[in-house]
Amino acid sequence: MFSLLGGLRRRQAGSKDVARERLRVVLMHDRAGANPELLEQVRDALVQSLSPLVDMDRRGIQVDLRRQGQSLALVASIPVRGFKRGAGGRG
C-alpha cells in the first residue's frame, strides 16, 4: 500500500525530486569534504563501538565518503588483527 503510493507520487513529481535528492547527496559529500573533523569523529565513534569486539590496528583505519549513484556510502577500512575472545557469545 505505502510503496504503491510512494511509487505513484514519484512518477507524478517530475524532475525536481531527482534534483533535490542529487543535491542532498552531493552536499553531504561536499560538506564532509570541507570538514575533515567530521570524518575524524566518525572514525573515533567506529573505534569506540568496535573495540570491545575487534582487535584492530588503529593507525591503519581509513574512513571515507563515496558517492554511489543516487546515494552516499560511508566506506571504512579497518585492519583487523583478530576478534576478541568471547565476543560472539555476548551478541
Partner 1 sequence: MGKSIVITSGKGGVGKTTTTANLGMALAQRGARVALVDADIGLRNLDVLLGLENRIVYDLVDVVEGFCRLRQALIRDKRCENLFLLPAAQTRDKTAVSPDQMRALVAELKESFDVVLIDSPAGIEQGFQNAVAGADEAVVVTTPEVSAVRDADRIIGLLEAQEFHAPRLVINRIRPAMVSRGDMMDINDILEILAIDLVGVVPEDEHIVVSTNRGEPAVLQNSSLAGRAYRNIAARLMGEDVPFLDLQSANGGLLGRLRRIFGG
Q: How far is the CB of 36 from partner 1 (least distance, A)?
A: 13
Task: For 10-41, give one letter per residue: b (16+ CB within 10 A) or e.
Answer: eeeeeeeeeeeeeeebeeeeeebeeeeeebee
- Residue closer to partner 1, measured from CB, 15 or 48: 15
Q: How far is the CB of 71 from partner 1 (least distance, A)?
A: 16
- Residue closer to partner 1, measured from CB, 30 or 57: 30
Integer Cα distance of 87 and 54 in angstroms: 8
Instruction: By CB under 8 A, name the binding residues for partner 1.
Output: 12-17, 19-20, 22-24, 26-27, 30-31, 34
- Residue closer to partner 1, measured from CB, 25 or 50: 25
CA distances from residue 24 to 16, 29, 39, 51, 52 in whole angstroms, order as listed: 12, 9, 18, 32, 34
Q: How far is the CB of 74 from partner 1 (least distance, A)?
A: 20
